[in-house]
Amino acid sequence: MQNEYVVPRLYPFDPALDRLDRQALISLAVTTGVGYAQEELRELTRNEIIDAIIGARVTAEEEAEDDPQAYEPRLVASPTLPSGFEMAPGRSLHVVWHDDWPHAALALALDDPDDSLGAAERERDGDVVMRILASNPPVVAALEAGDERLPLVRPLSWRQLCERADVDLPDGSQRVPVRAARALLAALADEIERPGGFFLVAGDCRAAEPATAVDVAVVLQRATPEEALTCAMCDVELDSWELHYFRGELRDIQLDIQDQVDDAAALCVRCHRLSHSTSLEDFRRALLWPRCPQCGSDDVRGIQYGLLTVPPDPERWVMGGCVMGVVNPRWHCDGCETRFGIFVAGPLGPQDPRRY
């Protein structure tokens, strides 16, 4: 006979909540707002309390997704929309779509003097330009009017903005009709003044295609015209990067974009590989393999000399031949084909070949 007092769990095992005892769960439930008074919580089983806490969180997320303005995001320093960006009579709004979003994100953050973003097509000097980076999902990253550029350090979802403005626009560069342009800019000004939730799943940072909208936000917040984007581990300047998330196995958690940014570090490929090292060999290579002094690439292999009975691993080594000179390069860069060595600095004799 089944025990009538055993209540099945509505939600699966939770690695955090299932470690707590009843008293801790009751205290957490009170602050979470589960809809029960403290006296009622004392009558619930431990599993029922856990379900109530998870259910309250799920409901809060669903309500925030239905109405992003109901969500209270962590705010970062973001400029207000200046008066020069409104739709004045005779002015047009141009959407510029950037498929090469990593390059465009860096150019916006660094305020690239070469303007490598490319000039936007305007009919008049006073027209407004909205730059969209084709990340996943696409984000509104900057506005321009005349010579003024306004990067949005908290990127906005392009599709969420269109939905809020009640306009239906295709992805891609375009001149926006006047009525839709007014609605878009009004929705954008409202979003900047009262930001809501922009929810996404970042996924596994070791996957081939992480949630790139988080990359855009990381670049816009951590690179400035005065300070380039650098690797959070080795401080090398980055023109390409990978994000590393500090959350263990929680790869499918859905969070507001700013919460994802706060949990991510921009790393070079080598340091990211090191952060996920699974073997001593991976660890040694990440620490000891140098970068190319010519191009800065970490795509470097060692050089082996002589006739070896067992060929070396081609992923790690290239053959340097049998003829060896006084000074022999130890490393080969696959990026620019430079061969180089690392030598101890110190006093050199007049005949030391390292002088030349």
Residue 224 DSSP symbol: B
Residue 38 in any domain: the answer is yes
Q: 93 and 189: one domain? A: yes
pLDDT of res. 105? 92
Select from 135, 170, 193 the last residue of a domain: 193
Q: How far apart are the first and last CA of the chain?
A: 91
Return averaged pLDDT per consecutive 10 residues of the chain, 356 residues in all: 59 84 91 88 91 88 68 71 70 90 91 63 74 93 85 89 93 92 91 84 70 88 91 88 79 83 88 76 70 82 82 83 79 89 63 49
Rounded Cα distance, 291 and 340, in Å: 10
Residue 356 in any domain: the answer is no
Residue 281 in any domain: the answer is no
- Among residues 293, 289, 298, which one has the least CA distance to residue 242? 298
pLDDT of res. 1? 44
Q: 253 and 215: one domain? A: yes
CATH number at residue 153: 3.10.590
Q: Into how many domains does the chain fold?
A: 4
The size of the chain, in residues, is: 356
pLDDT of res. 255? 85
Residue 295 in any domain: the answer is yes
Residue 296 in any domain: the answer is yes
pLDDT of res. 254? 81
Domain extent at residue 148: 84-193
Q: 61 and 141: one domain? A: no
pLDDT of res. 77? 64
